[in-house]
């Protein structure tokens, strides 16, 4: 059986995500470390991404809201965007991915931020609520990690063990102890404390619906509104476990490698960039490209900036991963939708 068989179901869903950059990331020299190779791979991807060329000079307010995981990234975009559009005010409010759809229905000229895949069903619901042409634009990638306290002797985990730790088999209230996944010493008979994001979080929905395919999740010992608070809880509880952004780790919390039998899949940038690490999710922006007023034009420009080289650099600075240039250009076509009444392109002589 393939070493990745237990995680293989994730690969078809995220093929375009986890393989992005591979065509640009040639194998590094044998002497290069993983860290050095990762830097070169990211540099190669960035250099090939199109720069931001404004289509319109905008001054109307941009209202972006949703995912708390995207808060830092969105503020970075806002700062960079204002260098091109100094009269434009960008308002960012991060209250959770699942607040996006109600707010977009009330304010269709705004931008929704989601930290989970956006389905056609999601877009259909927005159409039913009055949006003209809602589109979801994939904007960056985040790798997720399985985190435990640094004192926990466990170093890697299989997909079956992840199911044991996070999912309830029969009785949701039944506790599980660390010896169930092979942890001995002083940890063996201590209950596993699952720390999780709140119900409004796109992270929580992604974990339940995509990572664990709709299984019933164990009740959380505590829930928090941000990744930083999840990691802080892990630092303070030697028996806790959580799933958080891979870049959110600290000295008091460690990310586990993934494992199939004796083969480990390291939770490193290099493994992510080469498509070997499967726990990757897309960040998306949702907007109605059927709107034509000044605010909607400003919103489009904001999304165009996020897809540009400068916007993808902000994604890297915020701890995320860029998409490959062909994917970004394809997403840009969604934003530049002209509508059914647009004038046809001139016919070449």
Q: Which of 172-176, 228-232, 245-249, 345-349: highest mean pLDDT?
A: 228-232
Averaged pLDDT, 209-231: 93
Averaged pLDDT, 91-105: 94
Averaged pLDDT, 53-80: 97
**Matching CATH number, 143-273, of 3.10.450.50, 3.40.190.10, 2.60.40.10, 3.40.50.300:** 3.40.190.10
Write down the architecture of domain 45-142+282-335 according to CATH.
3-Layer(aba) Sandwich (3.40)
pTM of the model: 0.83
pLDDT at 6 over 90: no
pLDDT at 224 over 80: yes
pLDDT tens readout for residues 104-144: 999 999 999 999 999 999 999 999 999 999 999 999 999 99
pLDDT tens readout for residues 181-208: 999 989 999 999 999 998 878 889 999 9
Same CATH topology for 45-142+282-335 and 143-273? yes
Candidate from 55-64, 180-189, 290-299 with smallest mean pLDDT: 180-189
Domain ranges of the chain: 45-142+282-335, 143-273
Confidence of residue 91 (pLDDT cuts 50, 70, 90): very high
Work out the mean pLDDT of the chain and round it to a whole number: 87
Helix (H) or strand (E) holding 34: helix 34-48
Looking at residue 340, its pLDDT comes to 52
DSSP state of 249: -
Looking at residue 163, its pLDDT comes to 95
Q: How many CA atoms lie within 13 A of 158 on its CB side?
A: 14
- SS3 for 105? helix
Looking at residue 28, its pLDDT comes to 42
CA–CA distance, 331 with 305 (Å, rounded to integer) = 12
Q: How many CA atoms lie within 13 A of 167 on its CB side?
A: 17
């Amino acid at each position: 059986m393939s070493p990745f068989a237990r995680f293989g179901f994730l690969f078809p869903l995220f093929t375009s995500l986890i393989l992005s950059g591979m065509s640009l990331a040639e194998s590094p020299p044998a002497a290069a470390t993983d860290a050095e190779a990762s830097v070169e791979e990211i540099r190669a991807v960035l250099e090939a991404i199109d720069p931001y060329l404004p289509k319109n000079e905008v001054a109307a307010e941009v209202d972006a809201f949703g995912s708390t995981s995207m808060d830092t990234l969105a503020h970075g975009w806002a700062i960079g965007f204002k260098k091109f559009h100094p009269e434009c005010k960008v308002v960012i409010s991060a209250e959770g991915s699942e607040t996006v759809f109600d707010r977009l229905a009330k304010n269709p000229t705004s931008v929704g931020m989601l930290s989970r895949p956006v389905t056609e069903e999601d877009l259909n619901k927005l159409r039913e609520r009055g949006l003209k042409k809602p589109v979801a634009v994939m904007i960056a990638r985040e790798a997720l990690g399985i985190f435990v306290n640094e004192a926990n002797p466990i170093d890697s985990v299989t997909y079956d063990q992840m199911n044991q730790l996070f999912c309830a088999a029969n009785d949701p209230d039944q506790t599980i102890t660390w010896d169930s996944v092979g942890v001995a010493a002083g940890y063996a008979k201590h209950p596993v404390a699952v720390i999780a994001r709140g119900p409004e979080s796109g992270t929580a929905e992604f974990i339940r619906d995509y990572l664990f395919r709709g299984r019933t999740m164990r009740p959380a010992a505590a829930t928090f509104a941000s990744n930083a608070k999840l990691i802080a809880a892990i630092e303070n509880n030697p028996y806790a476990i959580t799933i958080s952004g891979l870049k959110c780790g600290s000295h008091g919390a460690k990310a586990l490698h993934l494992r199939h039998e004796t083969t480990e899949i390291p939770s490193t940038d290099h493994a992510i960039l080469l498509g070997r690490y499967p726990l990757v999710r897309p960040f998306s922006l949702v907007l109605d490209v059927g709107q034509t007023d000044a605010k909607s034009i400003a919103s489009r420009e904001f999304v165009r900036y996020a897809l540009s080289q400068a916007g993808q650099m902000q994604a890297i600075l915020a701890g995320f991963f860029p998409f490959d240039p062909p994917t970004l250009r394809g997403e840009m076509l969604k934003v530049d939708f002209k509508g059914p009444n647009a004038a046809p392109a001139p016919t070449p002589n």
